[in-house]
Amino acid sequence: MQALTLIMPVYGREEYTHRNMRYFSGTDFILHVIDGSPLEIKKSDLEIYDENIHYHYIPKSINERLMYALNLVKTQYVSLISNDDIFLKNGLHACVNELDKDMELVSCGGCAMRFNYNNGKINAFVTFPEMINSNLADEDPIVRMYNHFDNYAPSHVYSVTRTDVWKRACYDLLKKENNISEGVFEQLYEISVVFFGKTKVLKRLVWCRSAEVESVFYAERYNTEIYGRMKACWYDKNYSEQKNNFLDMLAINFADSQEEYTFNEVRNGIIEALNCYADKSVPSTSSSLLKKNIPFLYKIIDSILYRLINKYQSIPGGDLVEGLESLKAKGVYVDSKEMNEFSNTINDFHKNKLKKTTRA
């Protein structure tokens, strides 16, 4: 019986979408691809995949696509994935097994590695080291929220999560009238999951995070009313109304899920946790003034800088072997068989220069 559903929202980058569909085709995972691209992939290009791969063409916003995905998940567990990243199959199974063993856990993920492909080889290094040994096991949900954001890493948004918790965490965030942008969805989802229960990150490599292409965040972010990430808008008075709205929304949802804390106590706990997160990187005065007074110019400069950094960035460390050794030195288990499959997948993808599939 299939226990895990993978939800992969995509926008463009169809060759990477096909890479993941090939990677998971014929496995015991259910993969739903939710495509919001201007044109859909031709049905004839999808016929090669096994019946566990499902393609949905929904040319709407990311939030509308995820809301659609809520009704697709029928398994006990679910995980969101990105189409350019690689999530190791045995690692996903290990997360499922951990959740099966420990009913107090609502979410379980693994450690992460960042990789790129340059000059015919895979470069890799440890990313999000905060996730190593992450174990939010305190009985107090307010304490779990604060501890998570005091040493923050996005350890839950791509983790394996109990489906009922995932749906409850997502539903209010995705409702169109709440206008929650992708830029703050991550943090609001993260704080929701840790409030609803204990979470854990296994000391094994699961998430291979790609630096091969630019994030699709920049392709869709400007269509939202709340522009920018949580750190950029938390102290911006222009977003006070929206911020108070999502704080109230979260506090109502959290307070209804337990009896220990009142609405006000929960709301104050959320503010304290997010203050801790935002205080670690407050935008510069000049950046804030530019964003406030000439927002269109701020968006253009911000986008150009991001694209230049992404294009010319170099991955620190060395090749894949050196990157994996760095993980092992930190006590992280690496499945050698899976890494062989990962290496073959990435090398074949780039060396064969896979042709982009034709959109309908």
Check: CB of residue 78 under 8 Å from CB of residue 85.
no
Give the tens place of pLDDT for each residue, 227-252.
346 777 788 888 888 888 899 999 99
Residue 357 placed within a domain = no
pLDDT of residue 297: 59
Per the structure block, which two tokens stand in for 66?
């995820």
The verdict on residue 63 lying in a domain is yes
Residue 358 belongs to some domain of the structure: no
The reply to whether 280 falls in a domain is yes
CA dihedral (266, 271, 276, 277) positive or negative: positive
Q: Write the CATH number for 62.
A: 3.90.550.10
**Range of 137's domain?**
4-351
- Judge whether 356 lies within some domain: no
What is the Cα–Cα distance from 9 to 1, expressed in whole angstroms? 24
Cβ count near 93 (within 10 Å): 17
For residues 359 and 39, what is the distance between their CA atoms, to the nearest angstrom?
6
Cα(310)–Cα(257) distance, integer angstroms: 41
Q: What is the pLDDT of residue 133?
A: 85
Which tokens go with 251? 């506090």
Structural domain includes residue 360? no
Q: Is residue 183 very low, low, confident or very high in pLDDT (cuts 50, 70, 90)?
A: confident
From the number of C-beta atoms within 10 Å of its C-beta (0-12, 13-18, 19+), residue 262 rates as exposed
Please provide the DSSP assignment of 74-101 as one string.
Answer: -SSEEEE--SSSEE-HHHHHHHHHHHHH
The CB density around residue 77, as the number of other CB atoms within 10 Å, is: 25
Q: How far apart are CA 296 and CA 298, in angstroms?
A: 5
Residues with Cβ < 8 Å from 16, sequence gap 6 or more? 10, 83, 84, 210, 212, 213
Q: Which residues of 228-239 are buried (b: 16+ CB within 10 A; e: fewer)?
A: bbbbbbbebeeb
- 127 is a domain residue: yes
What is the domain count for the chain? 1
Please check whether residue 176 is in contact with residue 63, taking contact to mean a CB–CB distance below 8 angstroms: yes
Domain contains 307: yes
Confidence class for position 291, pLDDT limits 50, 70, 90: low
Give the tens place of pLDDT for each residue, 98-140. 999 999 999 999 999 999 998 889 999 999 999 998 999 999 9
Rounded Cα gap, residues 306 and 277, in angstroms = 22
